[in-house]
Structure 1
Amino acid sequence: MDLETFTAKPGEIAELFAVQGERRVDRRATKHTTMAPLPKHQPGERFIRGPIPLAWFKAAAKCGERAEAISVLLWYAAGYQRRNPVKLTPAILKELNVHPKTARRVLVKMAELRLVDVVFHRGRSPLVTITTPGPAVSME
């Protein structure tokens, strides 16, 4: 790339470095309070791997009762199993006291919104793939 022949307007350069999305910072909070560090997991302690897209989580939260818990468990299982699709086992559901029938009902609604692809087999844990929904699906 020849930088001497590169031309761009100042607005175009500013667009390259602009923050996409919405980022709010409460500047008053730093004046009146001291910053406390966020809690971190201890060695050997379980944690939820992120980042979790907020738009995905907001859309999943509309899928019924306990949908937020199931969403968190899906991302926890994906981090723990280090794969996508994940098996949503009864042991994982028990972490947040979610009944398997409730999980099934919510997963069906999530699949309708194309947030997940799910395969159910009788007598086995569902196999759930976390997906990125297309632009046709409203995530707001």
Structure 2
Amino acid sequence: MLRPSFLGPVAAMMLLGLSGCALESASEVSDTEARDRFIAVIDDTQRTVGGDWQVDDDPTSRECTIPLWVSGHRYPALRIGEAPASVERTADAVEQAWRDDGMSVERQLVGDVVEVSATSEFGELFILRVSESAATLQGESECRPAA
């Protein structure tokens, strides 16, 4: 039987697990440096894929919640590009680049679209979708405490 002194921490951990909250904390850089780091990964990925891209990044931050329900903000990015010469080679190259950057990477086939998604140690999210007709690259920066 659990002692009453253990019930609070156990209940809190169960609630965090059920709520889907990640336990990433903000990185030790400034908000501007964190956003620049995020955009640099998007830019590097875009160069890896190659071709011409339409940049539809939104300069407006979105609300997010940092663990323990602290309000924060994050920035989105969206790039739309032409189809790569080889869908598989492109997905392989991006998957490897993101793994080399220390990210957790998943890959799946959704119809005729290859989707490669990655999460950084700071909770940044990156998603590349490539097919024979187009490529999209999107993501969200880490959640930073609201000022």
Whether the TM-score (by the shorter chain) exceeds 0.5 is no
When normalised by structure 1's length, the TM-score is 0.29
Higher RCO (CA 8 Å, separation ≥ 6 residues): 2
Q: Which has the higher helix share?
A: 1
Q: Please identify which structure carries the higher strand content.
A: 2
Task: Select the structure of larger CA radius of gyration.
Answer: 1
